[in-house]
Amino acid sequence: MKNLNLEFFKKITYCHFLTDWASNDFFYPPVFIWPKFNEDIALENYLKTVGKNLSTPKYYIDLYFHFPLCRYKCYFCRQFSIACRKHIFYEKYLNLLIKEIRMWIHKMNLPSGRLAPDSIYLGGGTPTEFNLEKFFFEIKKFINFKKIKQIDIESTLEPLKNPLKFSFLKELKPNQRVRLTIGIQSFDQKVLKAINRYPFQKRIFGKVFRNIKSWNLGEVAFDLLAGLPKQSTESFLNDVQFLVQQKANLLHLNYFLNTPLTIWGSKHKTQIENKQEALKALQIAEKFLQENNYKKTSYGSWRLKSQPQNLNVQIISPPFALRKNFFKKNFAICVGPSGKGRLPDYHGQHEVQILNTCDLRKYEEKIENNQLPIEKIYKMNNSENKRRAVIRSLRYSLIDKDLYKKVFGRNFELDFPKEINFLKKTLGDKLKISDSLVTFEHFAGTLILGKIFYSPEVLKKCTELIKKRYKNCNFDLNFIPYIEDFNKIIVNL
């Protein structure tokens, strides 16, 4: 650890946020070092082989569908999406998504001809701007819904004004397995105008809320962001208080990451002025929620205690985030532009991560030519890298030592003694190590110091590409919350 270069770790972090639409830098290795995909024949042969085993309990199958269009392109959004209001394009991309998943199933040559996933996640973009009744009707022809534990659907408020938006679910009968996540972000008209969002969200909320209750869904969550342009502490707290008054069951409170991939970030290279005010607002909001019968269930998530979680619905991240039951072989198929997935045991030896193209024209062209729209692919070429990937994928500075041992049959601290000793020396009492967990609850620290678990070969590749492609970048990480606090913590390098 003598050669640790913290500034280099910061550069890796910046390059990740510069190139990856799909995550918060919890993927290992970062996508900017993944090679271009050019192995169509090898992958197709693999899919035929693995498809024979997908009916066995050892596989946990996730499906993620990325819907790439929105009515507005919000200035805070870090996901791959394009503003569009023409119905013809929504219809076109819906058909492309349906065709792509059919291609996956066909290439896997499943004995039954049908895929039986454990979960389905619809993200975007705005999935509810599409014809979801047609979508579910079509995919049910070749997807078995009996095994599905949960269906997650993202939305904004506007599409939900239609009282018939989810009426088709009564026939499909998965109502109590559906979790709807509504991206409110703010009710403040000044803020909404500044981020290019529909400015009258509070005006339509009552009607939408009545519709939601009539659909009898498994769970509904509401997202709010702190630190948005033109947003004050009072504005953010008013939004939280309003949703609490409505007895919203589940709230997600997050900080606006003004990364290079946001429109706001591309126009304003530095963090907006109210960064510290936003962090303070989050702290006040959390105290307010505790006083009003809400319990923190995970990072940024608060549940109303008097409305217990539906047992049929779990808090499941999109399948591009490694889940806690990865001791089963997780097969995450991501459909749509910018979708990111993972395939187990490439030719029985390697785990594979795949990334779809982030170009709508290329995506359409590949699907029309009956090609999977994969742009990049990364093979985990040894067991050590698999172990390092698991550590980096456990979010928010949490390493479950018991789970690590269950998966790999090894002791985490014996596998990575140098890394643990360095963290102890560097972080002091900020690092908590119990019999079963290692925790460091510090967002900036997770992103930067987490690179200590990168393998030498991954670090070498990062060095080469940063010098070659990104040497002229500004590498400004001021969009990350608590970065100043993190710089103060690091005292013993």
| All structural domains of the chain with their residue ranges | 1-26+395-493, 40-304
d(CA 186, CA 228): 9
Most confident of 44-53, 104-113, 150-159, 299-308: 150-159
Asked if residue 320 has pLDDT above 50, the reply is no
In this prediction, what percent of the chain has a pLDDT beyond 90?
48
pTM of the model: 0.91
Class of domain 40-304 (CATH, top level): alpha beta
pLDDT for res 324: 42
Cα end-to-end distance, the chain, whole Å: 9
d(CA 59, CA 148): 13
Are the C-beta atoms of 221 and 234 separated by less than 8 Å? no
pLDDT band at residue 163, thresholds of 50, 70 and 90?
A: very high
Q: Which pairing describes strands 350-356 and 374-380: parallel, antiparallel, or unpaired?
A: antiparallel
Helix axes 87-108, 360-368, angle to 10 degrees: 50
Least confident window among 24-38, 266-280, 404-418: 266-280
Helix axes 233-245, 275-291, angle to 10 degrees: 30
pLDDT for res 311: 43
Cis preceding-peptide flag for 456 (omega within 30 of 0): no
pLDDT for res 159: 96
115-145 burial code (b ≥16 CB/10 A, e <16) = bbbbbbbbbbbbbbbbebbebbebbeebbeb
Q: What is the pLDDT of residues 33-87, one digit of tens each?
A: 999 998 777 888 888 877 777 766 667 888 999 999 999 999 999 899 999 999 9
Asked if residue 489 has pLDDT above 60, the reply is yes
Q: What is the pLDDT of residues 209-226, one digit of tens each?
A: 999 999 988 899 999 999
pLDDT for res 157: 96
Residue type (1 letter), 478:
N
d(CA 45, CA 94): 28
Q: Is the model more confident about 208 or about 350?
A: 208
Query: Any idea what the Cα angle at residue 180 is, between residues 185 and 263, rounded to 5°?
Result: 35
Asked if residue 317 has pLDDT above 60, the reply is no
d(CA 305, CA 291): 11
Token pair belonging to 409: 């049959």
pLDDT band at residue 189, thresholds of 50, 70 and 90?
A: very high
Asked if residue 348 has pLDDT above 60, the reply is no
Q: What is the pLDDT of residues 259-284, one digit of tens each?
A: 888 888 766 654 455 788 898 999 99
Least confident window among 54-68, 285-299, 448-462: 54-68
pLDDT for res 346: 64
| Average per-residue pLDDT for the chain | 85
Asked if residue 149 has pLDDT above 90, the reply is no
